[in-house]
Amino acid sequence: MHARRIGAAAATALAVLAVRDVIQKKHALLRNFPVIGHARYLLETIGPELRQYIVTSNEEERPFSRDQRSWIYASAKEENNYFGFGTEVDVEHVQGHAYVKQRTFAGTLPDLHDPQAPLPSAKVLGGPRGRAKAFRPASVVNISAMSFGSLSGAAITALNKGAALAGTMHNTGEGGLSPYHRNGGDLVLQIGTSYFGCRNEDGSFNLDKLKEVVAGAPVKAIEIKLSQGAKPGLGGMLPGAKVTPEIAGIRGIPVGKDCASPSRHTAFHDVDSMLDFVELLATETGLPVGVKSAVGEMDFWQELATLMARGDRGVDFVTVDGGEGGTGAAPLIFTDSVSLPFRMGFSRVYSTFAEQGLTDELTFIASGKLGLPENAAVAFALGADMINVAREAMLSIGCIQAQKCHTDTCPTGIATQNPWLARGLDPTSKATRAAVYLRTLRKELLKVSGAVGVAHPALITADDIEIMNGDYEARTLASVYGYKDGWGELGPHLAAEITALLTTEPTAVHKPAV
């Protein structure tokens, strides 16, 4: 009898816990996996003790180490994101590790302790080419391209609301502009090879449909996707089973039918015709227009820089994606071995434009695991003007790096179209976490630039960071990547302008650019 009472009490307690888990909105994992989901948090709590004896260190996991994920989680939750008792990195031996060289004295700096400190772009997007709707982006940190379809509607909603709260831009990805992108965040509309949302029935590009999409949403810029880090040079197939009426309506494709994405664009066939296409979009919409690509052979970039040097046509920005792989599902050979890693690829692209004296004439956007302060600082030192974050943004809204993105079984409801799993993610609370993470990363970048003695991360140079390249030996970024004097740096007028903007007119970043 006594045992029965204990069993009944235990069953009741578990039932109450299950109901509580399903109702609460803080943890998507518990909403989707009531009761048993607590095991994950228990193991996380005693993880340091377990790892000390039988598992891996905090720095060994990939693609994001435990320390990196912990920093993002703590930042998103407004918890203490400091680490105690010193570094776990073998500082004199870790190949490729970056070291920022702080300065003893500094020039005029913004308030490094202001939690709401603005951190706008040092460049006006579209300004050099005189686009009608040129503007200065209010944030150097923005959300990268992730389509509705690859992510759930709840996840896209959370990210867009978070972008609005943090004052950042949100890239739609190539899957079209969905209702979930319309939650207040400014948008960068990405156009891929299938022209989703702006296509004819045969899959060709339709300019009138593009103009309709742009006119009906807060689109600030257009990005032509040539390739991405996860699967450069590879097309895709959206199985008919996944083409729901909702996705079909957004993308402009038939319901229930397979949709193949070509590996190359059909609206243009070389660099010359691509620039004609860029100018057409910019003229018809007034928006800045750029391209996104992973980096492989350099002939494309060399020809683009050469044609832009003539001055009559050009892109307003280039987004360089690292080949380390990202949110997109891809064959292992592509994630591991196709296209250059970010630092190598970006430095080659930047150098190509630097040789032509064009680096102040366009905006460089960097992506590829840059949502961590160390990696972001390196990107800015190499010449990036802004960074895009993807997987880190997913982590901020609850991703646990289950690496199930390609299976439609994401346990936290982010990378799935399963209604039950997606309902576990509460967009409102997760939007706040995304916004807090984005603000925290900006604040960390201001701290790093302040340590270097400059007012803005874009003023960090390739001589301010050294890279370990062997035991007890390090070289500057400039030396590692063959940068000449002045490369990776803003022109004097841009440097003076952004310093003045941050240190004497902090409210000016919210005014329209002229």
What are the DSSP calls for 362-426, one per residue?
SEEEEESS--SHHHHHHHHHHT-SEEEESHHHHHHTT------TTTT--TTSSS---HHHHHTS-
Q: Is the bond leading into 63 cis (omega within 30 degrees of zero)?
A: yes
Contact 436, 455 (CB under 8 A): no
Q: How many CA atoms lie within 13 A of 417 on its CB side?
A: 13
Indicate the angle between helix axes 66-76 and 427-452, nearest 10 degrees: 110
SS3 state of residue 147 = coil
Residue 311 identity: G
Residue ranges per structural domain of the chain: 141-450
Mean pLDDT by 10 residues, the chain (514 residues): 70 79 82 80 64 60 84 91 82 85 92 85 98 98 92 96 98 94 97 94 94 96 86 65 82 82 91 98 98 95 98 97 72 78 96 98 96 96 97 94 84 90 94 97 96 97 92 90 96 96 64 38
- Rounded to a whole number of angstroms, the CA Rg of the chain reads 23
Give the tokens for residue 465. 């960071």
Which stretches of 202-270 are DSSP H helices?
207-215, 245-251
pLDDT of residue 511: 41
CA distance 10 to 500: 65
CA distance 284 to 281: 5
Contact 327, 395 (CB under 8 A): no
Residue 494 identity: L
Contact 356, 305 (CB under 8 A): yes
Rounded to 5 degrees, φ, ψ at 348 are -70, -40
Alpha carbon separation from 314 to 273, 279, 293, 295, 349 (Å, rounded): 11, 7, 16, 19, 15
Contact 302, 353 (CB under 8 A): no
CA distance 422 to 204: 32
Contacts 24+ apart (CB under 8 A), 340-344: 340/294, 340/295, 340/296, 341/368, 342/229, 342/366, 342/367, 342/368, 342/369, 342/370, 342/375, 342/379, 343/378, 343/382, 343/481, 344/295, 344/481
CA distance 324 to 366: 13
pTM of the shown model: 0.88
- Beta strand 259-261 with 289-294: parallel, antiparallel or unpaired? unpaired
Q: Which DSSP letter does residue 483 get?
A: P
Residues 6+ apart with CB under 8 A from 505: none
Distance of CA 442 to the CA centre of its chain: 13
Rounded to 5 degrees, φ, ψ at 225 are -85, 115
Proportion of the chain in helix, strand, coil states, percent, rounded to 5: 40, 15, 45
Which CATH architecture describes the domain 141-450? Answer: Alpha-Beta Barrel (3.20)
Contact 74, 81 (CB under 8 A): yes
pLDDT of residue 150: 85
pLDDT of residue 194: 92
pLDDT of residue 329: 65
- Beta strand 219-225 with 186-191: parallel, antiparallel or unpaired? parallel
Residue 457 identity: P
Give the tokens for residue 259. 């949709």
